[in-house]
Structure 1
């Protein structure tokens, strides 16, 4: 990555120098260990779940899901349960009319490349209440007491609901007017530059993407002339469409002891699916520098294969729209959230009937190069997920699919929904951050979706 950063025209030299210096002081050394050797955790095969001996942080539990409209109507899986709300927050300030954001170089044990850019504050409740007995979280007070400042965004959002059970984070953007010093490991970065860095694989962390997506995306526009039953529509109609789905679709979950999960087995090194697909639950031992705690152990989820998250994009009356999909996942708080057009790991469908493949997956995989507006591989959350990544794609299409589970929306409409909780899933928010990047000067000049610097 270092060579690529140096050769990338939209990377400021000051950022490159800071990031390279941070590599020497912020890092993790991660060793995979047997589950029985995860120090500080109760991981015995006889126990119903893996839990930390403090009773805090998170647990790995067994879940059985019944989905009334699922391709697979019932399945078992391990899942991460962390019933607390963390804080993901970005401090921003204006300098000569331009917006700057305070980012930190953070090394998570699950990052495939070690160091990535994270929000100003990225902390679970267990972290910022000191359960780990480590250092305090820098800049936390700006978000716990934001009243003296301008709050641009403050909303709870979900994490990946296939791997996290009803987990939520408070996503915040707080604008300060006074000078705030960037301490070691932190850097004031121009917002447009931060969006430009989204074009680099595995650099902008998932948590930073989630908060960046909450930045207002110009004025919200309401389309008043639907062109088809599933074409452009008003935000009010979108809300009704989501509510109808939440009322119609039933997703029931029940906790099951890990040892009793169907089609999963416990091995010394991991809990694995008997097909060799999906993901494993592994154990890691971590040594770290530049973090609140210098050494710990934990279980993690390690996915099999790089996933795909993609929006199909089309223009209606000259304005860019993306095709969103109603998704029902076991970890959602309210049954359904809007996701990308395609969200899957292709290898998970290799042995399943062709009719089970996600709609529009083949159109995404066979897209001509001149149709691909954005293409980058970005990492998922590295604190619980190990080397887990998704290829992010924005693909322009001439097709106008007509399907009741899909709708066309503008980026501004998606941004409007992010003023509220639990309407856009993590993958859709990540792609919305990429749409923000397309509207910056470093992106293709032909792809614009409204004024970005409206805040």
Structure 2
């Protein structure tokens, strides 16, 4: 690291102490720079459009028999890579006391290695900028999306595939701890991944780090505006952005919540202790209710998702051509957060969600998180709680503070998209909640984000979205 760059937390340095104390101000200044710094908004869109053209992927569905380097294990039917690395599709039997269905089997993605999602930030002309990448993924609805500086599995950055090295990886492998703004392990979709975690990192770098051809420096204000555009800022960028310290969090409201910090932590611990969920690895061929054809593994009801195979070609990826399985959801997902002021303090209504792939049984999710069409066959009483309150916002658009359809992880999911909503409810909306819900202040959410396994990946997207609100 360039010795001329003052470390954020250098012990004994009055200058660096002031820098640490002013981090919130520096982040706030970047958030206010909505017209851009290094790159204007017009220039960004021109650059991004050119990157989308340059990095266009050719993605086509293929039968499983045409997968290269992948195959079904003869003993279990699990779908795995010949190297034993990357990820595999396995079966899982689940028993739970949560939700309308208490026992089921399903395919699930097993990827035990921990990846790195990292954003490098740098002060340019007195304003913090984030180094973002235009990255193509085979499952993206529009090919290229804006991703973190680094988005890599361990198999990627150790070059198991024999491809090229991951740019800027050295900024995150062994960073100077004095320049780390965020560093925390976070989960991914607990319904589709089995105990998948990534290291979410934000590291400040010096002037020696420059933007390569597929990278650009943008302000937090620009990122906030881009987040409202469909399928532009990818899931991995959104989760890292949520882990950046919140420049809007004032200490004066730290203890003004409906529930104290201790009460909230005790509530989460209680939910984890009381909810029962058992998961049992299962040969994929024995997953009841699922049928394998030459082209897909799908549920007999036609709901939920399918496992499919794709062939991909690219001139600019680490590997120019490959094939792989992907999980293809059925229907548009929904992740919605209800918010209101309680005692003058903004609160968000979070749910304690039980998902089979979570490491710690329960994580806090949005108020509503579902694929509505998957509930169409169930009685009205089994619909997700508060779903009607969210749908009411379509008739009262003035109450909708954020509304965007955004893509999920394009490296493992095919055309997985969710409608993300933040809806402000009326003052008379009940503050009393069922046991699996709690009103939580933004300051409390920010404290929870400093630790692993408290907020799920959908909730973290909505946290990033909340920071774009006035």
Shared fold (TM-score, shorter chain, > 0.5): yes
Unaligned runs of 5+ in 2: 1-33
Aligned to 1:363: 389
1:25: Cα distance to partner? 2.2
Aligned to 1:402: 433
For residue 209 of structure 1, give the secondary structure of its aligned residue in structure 2.
helix
Aligned to 1:431: 462
| 1:219-368 equivalence runs, <5 A | 219=249, 221=251, 224=255, 232-367=258-393, 368=396
Query: Which one is further off, 134-143 or 40-49?
Result: 40-49
| 1:149-228 equivalence runs, <5 A | 150-218=179-247, 219=249, 221=251, 224=255
Report Cα offsets for 1:107-154 as digits up to 9, x if no partner.
100001111000000000000011010000000001002117610000
For residue 99 of structure 1, give the secondary structure of its aligned residue in structure 2.
strand
1:224: Cα distance to partner? 4.3
1:190: Cα distance to partner? 1.1
Aligned to 1:28: 57
Preserved CA contact (<8 Å) 1:45 1:259: no
- Asked if residue 69 in structure 1 is aligned to residue 98 in structure 2, the reply is yes
Q: Go from structure 1 to structure 2 and tell me whether the alpha carbon gap of 1:100 and 1:351 turns closer, same or farther (over 3 Å shift).
A: same
- Asked if residue 379 in structure 1 is aligned to residue 407 in structure 2, the reply is yes
Report Cα offsets for 1:283-335 as digits up to 9, x if no partner.
00110132111111111100011010000010123222110000010011111
TM-score by length of 1: 0.91
- Please tell me the root mean square deviation across aligned C-alpha atoms, in Å: 1.7
TM-score by length of 2: 0.88
Q: Distance in 2 between matches of 1:270 and 1:35?
A: 8
Q: Distance in 1 between matches of 2:383 and 2:113?
A: 34
- Asked if residue 111 in structure 1 is aligned to residue 140 in structure 2, the reply is yes
Q: Distance in 2 between matches of 1:59 and 1:362?
A: 37
For residue 360 of structure 2, give the secondary structure of its aligned residue in structure 1.
coil
Q: Distance in 1 between matches of 2:242 and 2:133?
A: 17
For residue 109 of structure 2, give the secondary structure of its aligned residue in structure 1.
strand
1:180: Cα distance to partner? 1.3
1:255: Cα distance to partner? 1.1
Q: Go from structure 1 to structure 2 and tell me whether the alpha carbon gap of 1:225 and 1:171 turns closer, same or farther (over 3 Å shift).
A: closer
1:97: Cα distance to partner? 3.3
Q: Distance in 1 between matches of 2:137 and 2:339?
A: 33
Preserved CA contact (<8 Å) 2:194 2:358: yes
Q: Go from structure 1 to structure 2 and tell me whether the alpha carbon gap of 1:289 and 1:410 turns closer, same or farther (over 3 Å shift).
A: farther
Aligned to 2:15: none
Preserved CA contact (<8 Å) 2:35 2:221: no
1:105: Cα distance to partner? 0.2
For residue 437 of structure 1, give the secondary structure of its aligned residue in structure 2.
coil
Q: Distance in 2 between matches of 1:224 and 1:99?
A: 29
Preserved CA contact (<8 Å) 1:149 1:175: no
Aligned to 1:78: 107
1:99: Cα distance to partner? 1.5
1:414 to 445, 454, 457: 445
1:405: Cα distance to partner? 1.0
Q: Distance in 2 between matches of 1:164 and 1:282?
A: 16
Preserved CA contact (<8 Å) 2:254 2:444: no
Q: Distance in 2 between matches of 1:177 and 1:40?
A: 41
1:261: Cα distance to partner? 1.0
Aligned to 1:451: none
Report Cα offsets for 1:176-235 as digits up to 9, x if no partner.
133411111010111110111001000000000000000111346566466xxxxx2122
Aligned to 2:126: 97
Q: Distance in 1 between matches of 2:207 and 2:447?
A: 29
1:46: Cα distance to partner? 5.9
